Structure 1
Amino acid sequence: MSRSHYCDVWKEWELRGVVFLSLALQIVLICLGSCRKYFPYTWIKVVTWLAYLLADSVAIYAIGMISNMIREIKAGKSLSNPFTELSTFWAPFLLLHLGGPDTISAYAIEDNELWLRHSLTLVNQAGLTVYVLVMAWTHPTLSFLAILILLLGFYKYGERVWVLRAASYKYFKDSFIESPLRRKDSGKIEAECKLKREEGYDVVPHHVIDVDNEEAITINVAIAEFCSKKLSFVKESEDQGYERIVGTLLSAKRLVNISQRLFADHLFSMEERDSYLLILRGKHCARDFKVIEIELGLIYDMFYSKAKAVYTRWGFICRLTIFFSICVVLVIFSFIDKRPYSKPDLFLTFLLLGAAIFIELYALAHVLLSDQIACWLIEKKQSTVFYFITRIRSLLERRRWSNSMGQYNLMSFQKNYFRWWSFLELLHVEEMAVKFLYQCQVDVTDDVKELIMSKIKEMEARDAQEDVLDRGIHALSTHGLLDGGLKESIEGLEFDESILVWHIATELCYYLDYGWPDTTKELERNNQSRVKKKCLMCLHLSRYMLYLQYMCPSMLPFRFGSIRFRDIYKEPSKHFDLPKFTQNRPACGRNRRERKPDISEEPEIAEDRVGSVLIKGCRVAGELWGVPRGWRWSAISEVWVEMLMYGANKCKARDHARYMRGGGELITHVWLLMAHYGLTDSFLKRRPPTAEIIVNPW
């Protein structure tokens, strides 16, 4: 065989391989694109990230290969004509792949800012595909089918560009400038604006968002009226659960229209807070956390999927049109003469058509079983269809986030001696390896949620928005523990140092009480036998805050004198000897007399920041040990909840949205709950709504 023949064979199989890879990446994206919303697994993040990065590049490369092949044919270097015909037919499918699946439009929130780049890619690749079809117009039937697929691909890619643009920070923020509920004196303000314009001034009206309490009351009445209509085919035992589903969905749907503006960094009045609470405390509404889960799920779809385009009448019609169009193409292609084409090419063509139909069916099923459609059915009073959907997939019990929180335990860090450690140090990636080696996940239990809700409602009842800034002082004051070094461990330290000090103290108090569990499962068994629930909550919240500090640092306040992660994990035993510190601890048991451990011989620690934090943690543990057990763990749990609330309030809305793609974070749910109760910086404390007109000079 000649060298040119080998080149031709390589080009054929290379193109087939690249087209197949593009198709495989689309299947991965549509299947895993929504899974990362509620699964925190690392492998899902990595696979989705790789597929998202490769999908566009592979499709663009394949279109380029086809166009180069057409140029060579026109130059006289002819390949087999049947292969050219089918490969030309593949080009529009690659444009369809560039449009991406409905379940994922952006991997990270920053990808939304690249909408202009995608618009240029749309023009470029659509033009290149048109060039391929025009230059290779040989088989009339295939060419007309290719034009139909080209139009579908152009629409889907254009839709992706529009969704990315709508989710970008500037356009997302600007979309909420005008409030749907206008103020009563808006006519007067508009008249003044008009007068200034007539005088020749450049007028920029600043609209202030306001919500009438009567509107919120009307919403709750509507929820109650809808839920009171009992369905004839619903059993008496199921009626209460049905009411909870309806009330929770409608409450979340009403609140999400408000919470979107929180992510756009808008300010609200306390009067608006009262309106939110009227909705949140509806008669038929489920627990607050379930409403927040649905809200954040809807907001996630806005930032990371094509929800803004899909969940409209036009979007649904287009989905059906695309689906039936591809089915028509498949049927027509099945009747053309296939004898000139090779079996691999035919197999790949049918695979492209079948996969396109599967992707559209998957997208339609995803739409029909979504919370958005469920809310629409409730509002349109389509109770029969709604009940059927709840039978297929329970709306109240379905997963909307991971319902877990990451865990780091400072005491578990050890020096690693496995064979690859030196190699990792050489590449300077050992810190990244340690972060993934020592992290784990635990479920957010109902006890943790109830503890957080009780603290939020306590602050809201006292109208104590400023207590959020205390980050634990109020809890110590409530339990009479402001004397000694406990207050200094919070007020006298940076927030990151306070987290470390109290993390060490919490771990030591647990160790002194119950010994050191070897595994997480053993810890859970201890909880069932002798460890009080509050003690376990403290341990989980402590490790979660340490996890946030080093895995999601942007979610906590900016740290001016931050303690580096590598300073902590490198040989902590050299600085701190846990058994030595607790060698005089009392024996475990219910009837033992609690006494303070001997801390007169503090561990020998180098004079560095890590050593100082470890010593302070030991001292805090020693002071806490003198408090009765029940009182001690109650104080520790409230301190951690207040620290969590402080961190949630200080985290920017954009950062909350950024970490929703990895299964979601508990701190984001706490932040949105606090916002609904008026405990965040997004609310102006008792300031009446105002409006201003800025008159610019000529």
Structure 2
Amino acid sequence: MMGIMNQQQQEPINKTAALEALSPFLNNPRRTIIQVEAFTTVVIMLLLLQLILGSFRRQSARPLVQGGTWVAYTLSFPAIAYTLGLMQSSPVKNVMYPIWAVSLLMAAGCTNAVKVYELGDNKQWKRGLFNVYQYAFYVTLISWLLFPYSLDMKKYFHQYFNRLALLKSPAVVISSLGLIVTVTALMGRELACVLVERGYFFSVGRRVAKFMKKPPAQTGPDPATDMMKGYKYPVHFVGFGKDGNVITIDQILRCEGRLLSSATDHSKRLKDTCMAFAGYQLLKQRYYGMALTEECLDETRDFLFKGLLQTEDDYERAFKIVEMELGFCHDHFFTKHAIIFELETAFFCLFLVRIVLIATVVSFVVKSTLSVKTISAIIEVHTKRTDDIITVLILGSILLIEILQAASYLASDWCKVSVICRYVTSSCYQHSAFIEKLISYLSRLAIFGYWKNSIGQYCTAYGSSPDLAGHKLQSAKRAIVRSLISCDGLPTNGEGSLQRNGVFGEFSWALQGQSHSEIMLIWNIASEYCHLSHYESELSEASENVKEAKFNRRVSHSLSRYCAYLMNSVPELLPGNFGDTKLAMDDVEDDFSRALESPSSAYEAIYELQDQEEGYTSIFMRGMQLGKQLEAMPDRAICWKILADFWAENILYIAPTDNVKGHLELLAKGGELLTHIWVLLTHAGVLKINREKDENTMPRRQPSEENV
């Protein structure tokens, strides 16, 4: 009895609780509108942040750029899902809901500035496809607010088609915009991810592979005319035909149109851009695990050494082509440029339609012609002037993002290749001065760089150092190309450079009986020792060629610290087990820490440490002994030349690797010089080096007293 009375007493309390739960909607429905409005604005701000920071990813490794892009990319999708769900599930409705919903759909799949953040995100294309359908479903339900509930839709559309007044109907315009956005999202973001993950099965990837398997027709480059005579590397496939519809680098270089036949720097840049695109087409084969037909062919080596690197002074051009090639790779794996390139006409038609529809929706908002026409049980909240202003700003931001992304593509190398291919295959283009000027103007547009254009520096004694750029980076590139030309074959672990300098017998002990990571650490310690030595001041007196000696000192110092940076930051790109590399680095740093704990200066501490241990068993002590042996040479210029040549060949030796994904992941984090060298060697036919043979053929021995 008492239980029944208690239950009856509790019933009014439960009803009161239910009314209190509904009170935010009944008493203050405006709160829900403000919440939806705020979330929509935040999503658009995140989209702008993606556009700004994401555009600088490939040329900056700064935490602000990388971390900010990740935050904007990661938070935008759950925010979009939550906001669309809130608009659909809440009984509070506003006439701006359909516009905000379409804006969120555009942010999710159409105008998103970053296709994927990491290379592995391309594998999530099925999830992305599901999300697009989910968002489109929510937008469709929300858009029904603008349609009369009991209207015959066939009669409604027929009425507007007869009047040719579709653009006067807010419901039709907003629904059409949602449909166009959904189609563009599927073609852009999701199809671009499928293109990466199923690239081998797409017609372009298969056609490139089949085309390159044909018997080579190369006859070698002609240095006198700078024409890659007979090189049939594919640039672009037109239509769905076979051989007759492929544009090769040979066709572009031999085009007789005034735009390409002139010997101007502008013409050469256009040809180099197409050459880089042809290299990008071939480089994708390594990502998909396909055999490179041009591997180990004499024609392949001639293309690099007799075409691009005829002399050491051509290093800038060779590295510039590699930069453009890696730029294409970055855009293929991380942006939508590749799919836009393949479906260029369709994308720009959809772009123009979206611009017209967005502008029309803006006019509806400004004229206040929107109204809720459904008779469903809802709580309608009328708009205020603030809602109109915020909606116009949201649509204006999306319009701006659309235009900026279209301009980014028009200023990209993809557009340059596209117009050049059209120019080569169309005689009317070649005879039109206006079109040539237009192509010339487009080809001069450039907004962003290709990579961070600097190399990391790490000192085993003091930790990270400022990155090197400018003339120091150029000096390193020149030295690398000089060593590549001098190798005349596969690079060695340093043995070749020592033999060319005639000192292999004296320093061969520093290359024997250990992993290559240990060898690099030994030579790195020796380089630091020589750099810190007070004998450096005698360089100008001891050397006849001071300029060359300073060049070698700069190269040895920068490449030595760059290799230490690679061992510390990206050991997975280096030969051997990266865990062992990190352990060796830790051991050397511990030795340096003990040395620098001495109350004397850092210089004296390093000099005195050699007397604190017996023998030469540790990496640190072997590096110190090598440093003292180099320091004891009568001519400091020879010392710097030995070190510069060793490090230039060493970085060529460690670059070939099968870790293709590791290199491509770094393209979105500023890039690495090691990746550029990896590509350069790939086009020279050097894909791998048997480093185990180098480690196992020489027994380990200690430096003799005479050498020390």
Shorter-chain TM range is 0.7 to 0.9
Q: Match for 1:556: what amino acid?
A: L
Deviation at 1:398, TM superposition (A): 6.6
For the Cα contact (< 8 Å) 2:98–2:143, is it kept in 1? Answer: yes
CA distance 1:491–1:127, change in 2 (3 Å): farther
Superposed counterparts of 1:479-498, under 5 Å:
479-484=501-506, 486-498=507-519
Superposed counterparts of 1:557-568, under 5 Å:
557-559=575-577, 561-564=580-583
2:629 maps to 1:623: yes
For the Cα contact (< 8 Å) 1:163–1:308, is it kept in 2? Answer: yes
Residue 327 (structure 2) aligns with: 297
Deviation at 1:302, TM superposition (A): 0.2
Deviation at 1:476, TM superposition (A): 1.9
Superposed counterparts of 1:413-428, under 5 Å:
413=463
1:548 aligns with one of 562, 566, 578: 566
Residue 696 (structure 1) aligns with: none
What CA distance in whole angstroms lies between the structure 2 residues aligned with 1:229 and 1:260? 32
What CA distance in whole angstroms lies between the structure 1 residues aligned with 2:536 and 2:27? 70
Residue 239 (structure 2) aligns with: none
Residue 500 (structure 1) aligns with: 521
For the Cα contact (< 8 Å) 1:216–1:275, is it kept in 2? Answer: no
What CA distance in whole angstroms lies between the structure 2 residues aligned with 1:583 and 1:571? 15
CA distance 1:309–1:87, change in 2 (3 Å): same
Deviation at 1:209, TM superposition (A): 6.8
Residue 352 (structure 1) aligns with: 394
For the Cα contact (< 8 Å) 1:624–1:632, is it kept in 2? Answer: yes
Residue 636 (structure 1) aligns with: 643
Deviation at 1:566, TM superposition (A): 5.7
CA distance 1:226–1:10, change in 2 (3 Å): same
Residue 320 (structure 1) aligns with: 352
2:199 maps to 1:172: yes
For the Cα contact (< 8 Å) 1:409–1:546, is it kept in 2? Answer: yes
What CA distance in whole angstroms lies between the structure 2 residues aligned with 1:211 and 1:85? 65
1:453 aligns with one of 477, 481, 490: 481
What CA distance in whole angstroms lies between the structure 1 residues aligned with 2:256 and 2:535? 49
CA RMSD after TM alignment: 3.7
Higher Cα Rg, which structure: 2
Superposed counterparts of 1:540-689, under 5 Å:
540-559=558-577, 561-564=580-583, 572-576=592-596, 582-583=603-604, 602=610, 604=612, 612-627=618-633, 628-650=635-657, 652-681=659-688
CA distance 1:136–1:301, change in 2 (3 Å): same
1:476 aligns with one of 498, 503, 514: 498
CA distance 1:471–1:395, change in 2 (3 Å): farther
For each residue in 1:229-257, what CA deviation from the matched residue of structure 2 results, as whole angstroms up to 9, or x when unmatched?
3699x9xxxx6212321221222222222
Residue 92 (structure 1) aligns with: 102
2:134 maps to 1:128: no
Residue 119 (structure 1) aligns with: 129
Secondary structure of the residue that 1:445 maps to in structure 2?
A: helix
Deviation at 1:545, TM superposition (A): 1.2
Q: Match for 2:53: what amino acid?
A: L
Deviation at 1:144, TM superposition (A): 2.6
Residue 419 (structure 1) aligns with: none
Q: Match for 2:46: what amino acid?
A: L
Q: Match for 1:479: what amino acid?
A: N
For the Cα contact (< 8 Å) 2:195–2:339, is it kept in 1? Answer: no
For the Cα contact (< 8 Å) 2:366–2:388, is it kept in 1? Answer: no
Structure 1: unaligned runs, 5 residues or longer: 74-78, 184-206, 414-436, 517-527, 585-597, 684-698
- Could you tell which deviates more after superposition, 135-144 or 351-360? 135-144
Residue 453 (structure 2) aligns with: 403
What CA distance in whole angstroms lies between the structure 1 residues aligned with 2:170 and 2:294? 63
For each residue in 1:648-688, what CA deviation from the matched residue of structure 2 results, as whole angstroms up to 9, or x when unmatched?
112511111010001211011101101111122399xxxxx
What CA distance in whole angstroms lies between the structure 2 residues aligned with 1:231 and 1:648? 34
What CA distance in whole angstroms lies between the structure 2 residues aligned with 1:635 and 1:11? 72
Superposed counterparts of 1:212-361, under 5 Å:
212-213=217-218, 216-217=230-231, 222-226=251-255, 229=258, 240-270=264-294, 273-276=297-300, 282=307, 287-311=317-341, 312-337=344-369, 340-361=382-403
Q: Match for 2:218: what amino acid?
A: N
For each residue in 1:368-422, what CA deviation from the matched residue of structure 2 results, as whole angstroms up to 9, or x when unmatched?
1111211222233357556556557746997222211111112224xxxxxxxxx
What CA distance in whole angstroms lies between the structure 2 residues aligned with 1:143 and 1:136? 5
Structure 2: unaligned runs, 5 residues or longer: 1-19, 150-167, 220-228, 233-247, 372-381, 424-428, 538-545, 691-708
For the Cα contact (< 8 Å) 1:227–1:247, is it kept in 2? Answer: no
For the Cα contact (< 8 Å) 2:253–2:260, is it kept in 1? Answer: no
Secondary structure of the residue that 2:582 maps to in structure 1?
A: coil
Deviation at 1:129, TM superposition (A): 2.2
Aligned residues: 586
For each residue in 1:287-317, what CA deviation from the matched residue of structure 2 results, as whole angstroms up to 9, or x when unmatched?
2111111111111110000012212332233
What CA distance in whole angstroms lies between the structure 2 residues aligned with 1:9 and 1:396? 47
- Could you tell which deviates more after superposition, 323-332 or 3-12? 3-12
Q: Which has the higher contact order (CA 8 A, sep 6+)?
A: 1
Secondary structure of the residue that 2:620 maps to in structure 1?
A: helix
For the Cα contact (< 8 Å) 2:549–2:637, is it kept in 1? Answer: no
What CA distance in whole angstroms lies between the structure 2 residues aligned with 1:472 and 1:554? 21
What CA distance in whole angstroms lies between the structure 1 residues aligned with 2:621 and 2:284? 44
Q: Match for 1:367: what amino acid?
A: Y
- Could you tell which deviates more after superposition, 559-568 or 30-39? 559-568
Residue 193 (structure 1) aligns with: none
Secondary structure of the residue that 1:213 maps to in structure 2?
A: coil
What CA distance in whole angstroms lies between the structure 1 residues aligned with 2:317 and 2:420? 20
Secondary structure of the residue that 1:471 maps to in structure 2?
A: coil
1:532 aligns with one of 520, 529, 550: 550
CA distance 1:388–1:142, change in 2 (3 Å): closer
For the Cα contact (< 8 Å) 1:273–1:676, is it kept in 2? Answer: no
For the Cα contact (< 8 Å) 2:50–2:69, is it kept in 1? Answer: yes
Deviation at 1:17, TM superposition (A): 1.4
CA distance 1:575–1:60, change in 2 (3 Å): same
For the Cα contact (< 8 Å) 1:211–1:272, is it kept in 2? Answer: no
What CA distance in whole angstroms lies between the structure 1 residues aligned with 2:256 and 2:670? 32
What CA distance in whole angstroms lies between the structure 2 residues aligned with 1:262 and 1:654? 10
What CA distance in whole angstroms lies between the structure 1 residues aligned with 2:645 and 2:171? 69
What CA distance in whole angstroms lies between the structure 2 residues aligned with 1:259 and 1:537? 29
- Could you tell which deviates more after superposition, 346-355 or 148-157? 148-157
What CA distance in whole angstroms lies between the structure 1 residues aligned with 2:144 and 2:47? 27
Deviation at 1:549, TM superposition (A): 1.4
For each residue in 1:481-529, what CA deviation from the matched residue of structure 2 results, as whole angstroms up to 9, or x when unmatched?
3335x4343332223222222221111111115679xxxxxxxxxxx99
Residue 225 (structure 2) aligns with: none
